[in-house]
Amino acid sequence: MPELPEVETTRRGIAPHLLGQRVSQVLVRERRLRWPIPGDLDVRLSGQRIQAVERRAKYLLVQAEVGCLIAHLGMSGSLRLVDAATPAGLHEHVDIVLESGQALRYHDPRRFGAMLWSLAPLEHELLSRLGPEPLTDAFDGERLYQLSRGRRMAVKPFIMDNAVVVGVGNIYASEALFAAGIDPRREAGSISRARYRVLASEIKRILAYAIERGGTTLRDFVGGDGKPGYFQQELFVYGRSGEACHQCAGILREVRLGQRASVFCARCQR
């Protein structure tokens, strides 16, 4: 599933092509995504000029003059700029055609993404209860420490909770915990303030670096320019169960936490 760096990579890739452009037409070939695409999306968006392309957590917000398109890539979705005359392929469900002659094309084999419309996107039920963005000053080790007090859940699902902080998915939670030397099985409430400061710092560092590297290519993720991400080549633990730890040469182990596979090093993470 595309995580925050992948979504931010997509945003940066498509924004220069969308900003200031007027939408000529919205072609919907398949409405049955995770939530049905509104039947009047073409009427609402066509004729409007795009004023901003932003991100909140894993949601892309395409802000028009009146109203906002809320897009989510789901488990296998991608958004790419193509020539509007390019024939649509299999699983290419939506084209947002621009006056430039390009189209923002949505591809989603599993159809678990979303394209919704809102006049007040930050008040939409999907976004209104989200925690802070991890790369802002609103997120730090003190927040993790305070919210974790009395929590007996494992630290990994704790930092993946979108009410605590958004965008720390399975890949980057695994990598940040390894970098901070914290065992993902540890109870969230048992971790000290000092260690949470380190963990928050590593979350910020790793997410920023993953964005710089274009995200992580797992199966079929590509950015808005059609290029893959390269962070996968530098993963320390995620997806490497049974392999040698890059740091101590011990064998990496896998457990399930919160119904997600979690790989860690029992020597380096305590």
* Bind-site residues for DNA: 91, 110, 151
Structure tokens at 234: 């530098």
CA distance 48 to 66: 8
Burial 21-51 (b: 16+ CB within 10 A, else e): bebeebebeeeebbeebbeebbebbeebebe
> Which residue in this structure is represented by tokens 């989510």?
72
Residues annotated as catalytic are 2-3, 58, 260
- Quickly list DSSP for 216-265: --STT---TTSPPP-GGGG-SSTT-TTSBPTTT-PBPEEEEETTEEEEE-
Annotated binding site: 91, 110, 151
E-assigned strand segments in the chain: 23-28, 50-56, 59-64, 68-72, 78-83, 92-98, 102-107, 114-118, 253-257, 260-264
Length of the chain: 270
* Cβ neighbours of residue 73 closer than 8 Å, sequence gap 6 or more: 1, 2, 6, 7, 10, 58, 60, 79, 108, 113
Q: Are 144 and 160 in contact (CB under 8 A)?
A: no
Instruction: Judge whether 247 and 259 are in contact, CB under 8 Å.
Output: no
